[in-house]
Amino acid sequence: MAISFANKQFPSATILMAVRWYVAYKLSYRDIEELLEERGIDVDHATIHRWVLEYSPQLEAVFRTRKKPVSGSWRMDETYLKVKGKWQYLYRAVDKYGATIDFMLSKKRDEPAARAFFNKAIDQHGLPKNVVIDKSGSNAAALNTLNWQIWVLCLYGRLIEVFLFI
């Protein structure tokens, strides 16, 4: 999948640099506008906002296709953090070697949110052999639901083994 920069006033390197600065660092659009101005590039902060909206989903899709495969043993947890002034749950999973499998922000910490996270991770990486979770009832309920769906589809050998980390 190629990212198209057709009919853009600025070079692709400038656009990618501005999007990367916004995504990777805690900078505002006006901060990035000022950084580009110091480099002789006159661009408005609203233009940078449009670039971020247009190119960050495309870049994520390209990066996901190039991601290395992960192991079948996952460690999953969630934490509560503040994002742009609002408290949200960050669901995340890593494999046994520490490679990030996936992450997701959610407003709620319940079984549907945990199931949505697992569905997202499984769609990207396939079914894990086992998952280590904490004592969260929502995570266990989501994995039980997934195992039930796997059992109904007659994929008995593919059931996910759940380990509770105490």
Domain boundaries, the chain: 12-65, 73-164
In the three-class reduction of DSSP (H, G, I as helix; E, B as strand; rest coil), residue 151 is classed as helix
Q: Decide which of 72 and 50 is more confident.
A: 50
* Per-residue model confidence as pLDDT tens digits over 111-159: 999 999 988 888 888 888 888 888 878 888 888 888 888 777 776 566 6
Judge whether 153 and 125 are in contact, CB under 8 Å.
no
Would you say how long the chain is, in residues? 166
**pLDDT, tens only, 64-85:** 777 777 888 899 888 988 888 8
49: closest CA among 82, 72, 76, 21? 21
Q: Note the pLDDT of residue 147.
A: 81
Tell me how crowded residue 13 is: count the other CB atoms within 10 A of its CB: 9
User: HSE of 41 in the Cβ direction (CA atoms, 13 Å)?
Assistant: 20
Report d(CA 69, CA 95) in Å as an integer. Answer: 10
- The residues that bridge with 83 in the sheet, in sequence order, are 86
CATH topology of domain 73-164: Nucleotidyltransferase; domain 5 (3.30.420)
Encode pLDDT of 8-26 as tens digits. 999 999 999 999 999 999 8
- Report field, pTM of the whole predicted structure over 0.85: no
Type of residue at 75: R
Q: Which are the contacts of 67, defined by CB distance < 8 A and separation ≥ 6?
A: 124
HSE, side-chain direction, 13 A CA sphere, residue 60? 11
pLDDT the model gives residue 156: 59
| Phi and psi, residue 103, nearest 5° | -150, 160
